[in-house]
Amino acid sequence: LNLEILKLGGSVVTNKNQPMSMNTAAINRIASEIATAGGRGLVIVHGGGSYGHPLAKEYEISNGYHSDLQLPGFSKTRQAMIQLNSILVNTLLDAHVPAVSVNHSSFIITNNKKIGEVDFKIVELYIKAGMVPVLYGDAVLDTEIKFTILSGDQLAARLAIDLKAQRLIYGVDVDGVYTANPKLTSNARLIEDLSLSHMKGMVKIGEALSTDVTGGMLGKVQEATSAVEAGVNVLILNALKSDYIYNALRGESVVCTRLRR
Ligand code: ADP
């Protein structure tokens, strides 16, 4: 199976600073880039951005159950993600990408925030049927803390490993991993070749600026580590720049961060 996993960050598909606000221009462009790149098997995973994160944060979903008052918040987070996923899938369909929504949060359970056993057979069969499954970060049940947020970053890495993807591409709103948060530090440098074993102590990756409950760039690199160790090529690139996703999907070189052991 010639397969790629494309994770579209919440910072790409939504306007993070405005609640429930899509980045319509970005998703229209990305949908047409995916359509024209064509070809091989593709799974898309998206983040929550200004749809999922504010609710998840308000009801403190990610650290698990502490009060019944959180219960409607769990469901509201779900509903917001369903809405975002629906807009994204419709946009892909309009661009003639045979996208299909997969509501994995109904069948994935985490163990203390980590995906345990999961069967992605359904996703595999969609790909083999020629469709493009679209999954997303969401509120999920947890065996230890009752519920949590499963990030799109973690889900994408696990899909890449289980489905033996060739590549895992994280599309974000910056060019990749920098020596410091490029939104806060003007002389931050892009690290084009990031060796995970040398990372500790060398880089201060920092936290994302906005309302993310899942750890920003640091969390992304941590979640991607398991995929890198499983031999998947992992790229982190700027999905807000024209043709970066197109070029990456075509296997052409793009400015980005490549992760390696
Ligand atoms: P998404 O939600 O799109 O998946 P995040 O917002 O979680 O992405 O993470 C990307 C953000 O991480 C960037 O917009 C940037 O502000 C922040 N960040 C913090 N430290 C770094 C760093 N060292 N290099 C790049 N980005 C960083």
**Is the C-beta atom of 48 inside 6 A of ligand 1?**
no
> Side-chain half-sphere of 121: how many Cα atoms within 13 Å?
3
**Is the C-beta atom of 206 inside 6 A of ligand 1?**
yes
**Average pLDDT, integer, range 240-257:** 96
Angle 156-160-165 from CA coordinates, rounded to 5°:
140
**Is the C-beta atom of 221 inside 6 A of ligand 1?**
no
56, two tokens: 């998840």
**Is the C-beta atom of 217 inside 6 A of ligand 1?**
yes
* Ligand 1: centre distance to CA 174 (Å): 7
pLDDT at 185: 87
**Average pLDDT, integer, range 198-206:** 59
**Average pLDDT, integer, range 49-62:** 95
pLDDT at 5: 98
163, 145 in Cβ contact below 8 A? no
**Is the C-beta atom of 208 inside 6 A of ligand 1?**
yes
- Nearest atom in ligand 1 to the alpha carbon of residue 210 is 6
| pLDDT tens string 80-102 | 999 999 999 999 999 999 999 99
| pLDDT tens string 131-144 | 999 999 999 999 99
* Ligand 1: centre distance to CA 205 (Å): 8
7, 48 in Cβ contact below 8 A? no
- Nearest atom in ligand 1 to the alpha carbon of residue 214 is 7
Residue 125 has pLDDT above 80, yes or no: yes
Among protein residues, the one with the nearest Cα to ligand 1's atom 26 is 181
For ligand 1, pick from 50, 57, 183, 221 the residue to mutate: most ligand atoms within 8 Å of CB: 183
pLDDT at 218: 86
Q: What CA–CA distances, in Å, run from 40 to 21, 179, 219, 250?
A: 31, 34, 28, 10
Classify 142 as helix, strand or coil.
strand
Q: What CA–CA distances, in Å, run from 82 to 46, 56, 57, 120, 157?
A: 11, 14, 17, 20, 21
pLDDT at 204: 55
pLDDT at 103: 92
For ligand 1, pick from 179, 181, 204 the residue to mutate: most ligand atoms within 8 Å of CB: 181
**Is the C-beta atom of 240 inside 6 A of ligand 1?**
no
